[in-house]
Structure 1
């Protein structure tokens, strides 16, 4: 056995390690050299360029946000304070069919593509160009990116209100192949949204063909999360089987009052399907979702809080019903006047949220939209909310399980090699927090308040957040997919 080094770039002393595997916690020191974990154990007498005292604190892998819309933010808001402040060291981008590339400068982006804030002068015509830009100007977090099916439809089709024809499918497939060669970890769809509503199952399968030989992941905001959620699950699983690839169900939920409690049906169906094919899922720990301002009745049944509005920015943070009353118009007409923009929709039942979150294989993702002054509080509070409110206060699951759901499980499901667990040789993505005080401070009234209880966040061995202050470090890396052959050889 090779002896542990005696000097480290960074030494984390005396912490209680929760390693991201669901194993019981243990007390140990962690030594970091060249951005990697070099030793875990009793490192008394060792020296270091910098030492952090983690006595009485939890030392865990940096959290991996399994579902983000940070595609453009990692370039335009590269410090990423809304993520590093809550312990996130890696984001999975390109969700819901929406990606930052490929795009043309002359394209007018339909909603919800425009929510990721892609300025025409900063667009990338290839996926490789996007990843190269991230490498040239690193973010404060690591980025694992997918290509979006809706983005491809907008790029290749003049009319989105129909299925793609053979030539358009071939063009989209070529872009997927380019993205796979560049290192995209998979492809996402958002058939719930207008740009992809008319896409057929067959279109999605054919566009996604390049994923098969690489076992890249297929991630989907399903066609329906309400009355027809079971049909949407069946379509999702059929796509995975046809392509023989892993499937991720994005932000699994059952929405609208008539469907409250249906997670008692969806989760057993998902669990049974997992016995036959590779399926995983994520969720966010809130009863409200957030997306583009919509006018369809199903989205306006509950409380709607406006997060941003281009024509009426003064309405951000206000309830749609109050705005409609003030304007003397029905809710749907008020919503139409507020478009384009984003809104927060209170449409889920707390029992369903807890049931989905407690499901053994559920990962944690924020689904936050980094846009405007009144975003959904999940953008700033998701991970501390799980650790504080749901794990510590409610006792939904042990802290070891909570950490696993946002680290090791996510790294495994997305194939993020070298991340997600604390062991020698892994990238030194680490968070140090106080299990007794960690909590989300962001709420719907003050949604951008940083979380409490996070002591330090380390990204690739560099201290990025310490005692509530961003260090200015931008040591994030681009995480690319490893092909099957590469993975098997290592």
Structure 2
């Protein structure tokens, strides 16, 4: 007898091949029959009118802290994801000496907007080395499978001490050899790969640049040599190449990526997005990546399926007034309710608006503070390609209101919990044309969800849902893709890149990670602000409509968006074969 049968669905098997109608039978956590299924089952689910797809593979998350206290790992798990890679962008919590715990919390709070109080209370710290960390995770169970990269920033601090947090500090030969040895030890223990960050955007809570920002080619090649020695593992990084208007700088970063892959022989993926300052840089990067692949180097870009939109609110982390001294004073020690009450005071509002006139921060922060024509009320379902004509800036102009004053009042709606959506990245031209260009590139991977991070600023763990819902129907400019191509991008394609060859396909012998999806009913409502982190920490949480069932290793983990209580997920150590 089979454990589970999914009947009468349109099977989109993850390979990119045309979908076909049929059944899927599962036994002992593995797919055993596809198409015409024989025999009875302990449980049968009717997938009529729905898609049957592999579970999604999200290769860019930051659940490194959350995995030590949480088994559900939402919002990824509630958006059809059954396997995740974490430890991206060079940040994580291992290796970690006890005296560096507070420093790492400070770093992750700044880089990934994870409340420090939640990390301080929730992290169990039943590890020191990276193999210790993996062993700690192996003692726990989850709704999905997890793999972890060795994060460069933590490794640097572990070996170099305080100097590791200084991006201008150069490791000695002995320190570099030690970092290589620890990375090799981690790879032997089951690390997924090695990750690093080279972006000025990544700063600790107190504003310090991440220590890996300007790491030399010698340092990176020295550490990544461990992957060559181990004969496995992938490299993941973020670089400022995508956001710079400086052609020479961008080219140097591309040359560094080329050298890393050529020297180690390993696969590499890196972040590519679009900013207002360099709206066509992604095209230059894509040409470079195509040339690398033509040389036989396996280099991929990680791209997003929609704008990276900042969610603005008085009840969360970011809003147009968050830099104003009075706002910072109000927010510093107050609870959420106390802060909202104070901000509703006309005298407090007047002081903040007066200060706001003189706030002109550099870079993307200026858009957050002054970009009223990019601020939109969040709708249900969320509109991820809003038009400037519906912005609060245009609405204020129509009403004859000062835009800052008007936006302040809008943020006070719903008891101060009104959410605004601001497409900050990947929206330089006010549409998704360039996003489509990146997604359809031959060397692109769907990633960058940052699930588990940016708790009060963005909520992009729902990227897989947007990928299927938006792009199967088409953007407002008319770009669309076959559902088979979209599913392939979030299943077999991602799984193969990181070496997980036992999943991402609906075929006999593959892991029974599956979704049953009502594509016509698939949609995303606005995120909610929930206070379910340790120490009462708040985060944005977004659920999806349209997932009938998610199955992990043959167990139904979610039914109509609700967790069933099953936790069949586990730690993945390195590559996974059939």
Q: How far, CA to CA, are the matches of 2:183 and 2:500 in structure 1?
A: 20
Report how far residue 445 of structure 1 moved: 8.9
Aligned partner of 2:459 in structure 1 is 377
Instruction: For residues 39-75 of structure 1, give each alpha carbon's deviation from its aligned partner in whole angstroms, at most 9, with x where no partner exists.
Output: 112125x211111100111000000011000122223
Q: Does the C-alpha gap of structure 1 residues 371 and 190 become closer, same or farther in structure 2, counting only changes over 3 Å?
A: closer
Q: Does the C-alpha gap of structure 1 residues 88 and 126 become closer, same or farther in structure 2, counting only changes over 3 Å?
A: same
Confirm or deny: 8 A CA contact 2:302 2:448 kept in the other structure. no
Instruction: For residues 165-192 of structure 1, give each alpha carbon's deviation from its aligned partner in whole angstroms, at most 9, with x where no partner exists.
Output: 2122122122201211111111001121
Structure 2 alignment gaps of length 5 or more: 203-208, 312-317, 344-348, 366-420, 531-539
Q: Secondary structure at the match of 1:106?
A: helix
Between 1:88-97 and 1:200-209, the stretch displaced more is 200-209
Instruction: For residues 416-442 of structure 1, give each alpha carbon's deviation from its aligned partner in whole angstroms, at most 9, with x where no partner exists.
Output: 120111111111110110121212223
Confirm or deny: 8 A CA contact 1:377 1:444 kept in the other structure. no
Q: Does the C-alpha gap of structure 1 residues 254 and 23 become closer, same or farther in structure 2, counting only changes over 3 Å?
A: same
Report how far residue 305 of structure 1 moved: 8.1
Higher helix share: 2
* Residue of structure 1 aligned with 2:215, choices 199, 215, 226: 199
Pair 1:397-2:481 in alignment: yes
Report how far residue 212 of structure 1 moved: 0.5
Q: Does the C-alpha gap of structure 1 residues 312 and 408 become closer, same or farther in structure 2, counting only changes over 3 Å?
A: farther
Q: How far, CA to CA, are the matches of 2:47 and 2:551 in structure 1?
A: 13
Q: How far, CA to CA, are the matches of 2:353 and 2:175 in structure 1?
A: 45
The higher radius of gyration belongs to 2
Aligned ranges 1:31-430 → 2 under 5 Å: 31-43=25-37, 46-107=39-100, 108-109=102-103, 111-114=106-109, 115=112, 118-119=119-120, 121-157=124-160, 158-159=162-163, 160-161=165-166, 162-192=169-199, 193=202, 194=209, 195-213=211-229, 214-227=231-244, 228-250=249-271, 252-255=272-275, 257-276=276-295, 277-288=297-308, 314=336, 325=353, 327=355, 330-332=359-361, 346-349=424-427, 350-370=432-452, 374-379=456-461, 381-394=462-475, 395-430=479-514
Confirm or deny: 8 A CA contact 2:527 2:543 kept in the other structure. no
The aligned length equals 454
Between 1:75-84 and 1:323-332, the stretch displaced more is 323-332
Task: Name the TM-score, length of structure 2 as normaliser.
Answer: 0.72
Instruction: For residues 104-125 of structure 1, give each alpha carbon's deviation from its aligned partner in whole angstroms, at most 9, with x where no partner exists.
Output: 2221325543446654652521
Aligned partner of 1:439 in structure 2 is 523
Q: Secondary structure at the match of 1:173?
A: helix
Confirm or deny: 8 A CA contact 1:70 1:369 kept in the other structure. yes
Structure 1 alignment gaps of length 5 or more: 1-6, 292-299, 336-342
Confirm or deny: 8 A CA contact 2:306 2:466 kept in the other structure. no
Task: Name the TM-score, length of structure 1 as normaliser.
Answer: 0.84
Aligned partner of 1:460 in structure 2 is 553
RMSD between aligned residues: 3.2
Q: Secondary structure at the match of 1:389?
A: helix
Instruction: For residues 128-181 of structure 1, give each alpha carbon's deviation from its aligned partner in whole angstroms, at most 9, with x where no partner exists.
Output: 222222221111110011111111112222223222221221221222012111
Q: How far, CA to CA, are the matches of 1:313 and 1:240 in structure 2?
A: 48
Q: How far, CA to CA, are the matches of 2:490 and 2:179 in structure 1?
A: 32
Pair 1:471-2:564 in alignment: yes
